Structure 1
Amino acid sequence: MDNKDETKSTMEIVNIPPIIATYRQALHTFDEKFKSDISSNLNKLKLMMDKLKADDLGFDQSLNDPKTWKKSNKAPCTYIEVFQNSLVNMSIFVLKPGFKMPLHDHPHMHGLLKVITGAVRIRSFTEYPLKEIVNSMDFASRAKHEAARIAQGIHKRRRLFAKVSQDSICHAYSETCILTPTISNYHEIEALNMPAAFFDILSPPYDTLIEEVGPRRCRYYYVTNEISTNVVELQETNVPECFYCDQAPYLGPLLV
């Protein structure tokens, strides 16, 4: 390679839009071929997401205008699909001022959440056995058993203990939040006094199959009992009627 070609190659690498680099890293991170390196790849993906800004995603700034959310028949949440295949779902959620996305779970999933406009309060929970110590494999086994039970139509609503793993305000300059199949797998997200938007990566996406179990379903909960300052009891419930979304197009760079 001569000097001109080398310079051109370097410029092409430097000029890759941040969201495209993030997209490529997400596909690599969650590829089964590289699952032995999930921890290091997840950290690389997080560091890339930490630097993302609203403009990198072509974010429509009209959704950041409080007047937009005062229009009649405007849903309290706008969903923007950035990319989805069987491996990952990449999306943007925009919440109206003061709206809380209800407490929900992410069965057998990893997730990364980066606020890109406004500010949100994120409250996350990790399933917490009060009488026994279990490792991550036990958690996974328990979750798989629960999913199988529901797939068979035996749907007694879940009731579980959970430990508060995060309760903080996140802004556009805050670090990316991470959830795993066992840690911070339940969370609720509340916009503060202005519209707020966050970019989200989930893997695998909802509705993809759990082997020998069935499709991943999102379930909703509420805190039914405060056990201590950081341990609560959660009760599964119906999808809250207040939670529904409209959709807007993704306006950022084409992901290739």
Structure 2
Amino acid sequence: MYCFTDTFTPADVGLKEENPIDDEGHGRVARCTQPITYLHIHECDGFTMCIFCFPTSSVIPLHDHPEMTVFSKVLYGSLHVKSYDWIEPTCIRESTEPGCPQVRLARLVMDKVFTAPCRTSVLYPKSGGNLHCFTAVSPCAVLDVLAPPYREDLGRKCTYYIDYPFSTSGNGAQISNGKEEDYAWLAETETPDDLYMQPGVYVGPPIQV
């Protein structure tokens, strides 16, 4: 399926392909503390368009896009994407251990690396990997179009999750389709304290949608 962002290059959005966020010469620990840069392009009632610029090893943790369709295009570099969809009908397990969270069963949709140039990936409200995590394999940039945008008063709130292997359920849970490694239990968590993101300034040309 063709998407209008498929042909986008870094130059089309005012970026230089050769590492705009220069993390050369930094150790791995130092790179992990560098912020992800958020570039706002456009927002209206129908959609949000933005760019995330990742230093090597930086992460946007597992999160959801409730009732939203999201187009993601890697503009340069390499990005690892791990994504899930909820199992329907809903399967929830209550922990018998004090202080342990309730978990919900999800199916693994994607666990792969995207390297530019590549096609746009698309996730839908209930399919395509609506819950996903981004990890930068190298310095990279991702153009995102979220339709409609996050809006908490309408129920479109971003929630973060921690994933646990299917085998961690000790109450005899079984699966009817696929392998155990294709499933995980997801628990809601607070916004991670180490999610380090800074606003940047979009300097590219206006984008016609």
TM interval, shorter chain, is: 0.7 to 0.9
Give the letter for the 1:81 counterpart. H
Q: Is the 8 A contact 2:19 2:139 kept in 1?
A: no
**Distance in structure 1 (CA, Å) of the matches to 2:46 and 2:25:** 33
Corresponding residue of 1:93? 52
Corresponding residue of 1:57? 13
**Cα distance, 1:95 vs structure 2:** 1.2
**Distance in structure 1 (CA, Å) of the matches to 2:26 and 2:10:** 19
Give SS of 1:235's match: strand
Give SS of 1:200's match: strand
Give SS of 2:8's match: coil
Larger strand proportion, structure 1 or 2?
Answer: 2
Corresponding residue of 1:66? 23
Q: Is the 8 A contact 2:76 2:117 kept in 1?
A: no
Pick one of 160, 166, 170 that aligns with 2:110.
166
Q: Percent identity?
A: 27
Pick one of 187, 201, 204 that aligns with 1:235.
187
TM-score, normalization by structure 2: 0.78
1:82-134, CA deviations, whole angstroms, 9 ceiling, x for partnerless residues?
111111000000111111210000010000100001101001101014xxxx5
Corresponding residue of 2:79? 120
1:179 aligns with 2:123: yes
Specify every segment of 5 or more residues in structure 2 that has no aligned partner in the other structure, as ranges.
91-100, 168-179
**Cα distance, 1:209 vs structure 2:** 4.4
Specify every segment of 5 or more residues in structure 1 that has no aligned partner in the other structure, as ranges.
1-42, 140-156
Q: Is the 8 A contact 2:34 2:58 kept in 1?
A: no
Q: Alpha carbon RMSD of aligned pairs, Å?
A: 2.5
Pick one of 199, 203, 207 that aligns with 1:251.
203
Corresponding residue of 1:219? 159
1:169-208, CA deviations, whole angstroms, 9 ceiling, x for partnerless residues?
101112111110001110000001x211100000111126
Go from structure 1 to structure 2 and tell me whether the alpha carbon gap of 1:173 and 1:108 turns closer, same or farther (over 3 Å shift): same
TM-score, normalization by structure 1: 0.65
**Cα distance, 1:247 vs structure 2:** 1.2
Corresponding residue of 1:81? 40
1:55-81, CA deviations, whole angstroms, 9 ceiling, x for partnerless residues?
000115663422498899x74210000
Q: Is the 8 A contact 2:49 2:146 kept in 1?
A: yes
Give the letter for the 1:191 counterpart. A
Q: Is the 8 A contact 1:64 1:117 kept in 2?
A: no
Q: Is the 8 A contact 1:79 1:248 kept in 2?
A: yes
1:110 aligns with 2:69: yes
Give the letter for the 1:50 counterpart. D
Q: Is the 8 A contact 1:103 1:187 kept in 2?
A: yes
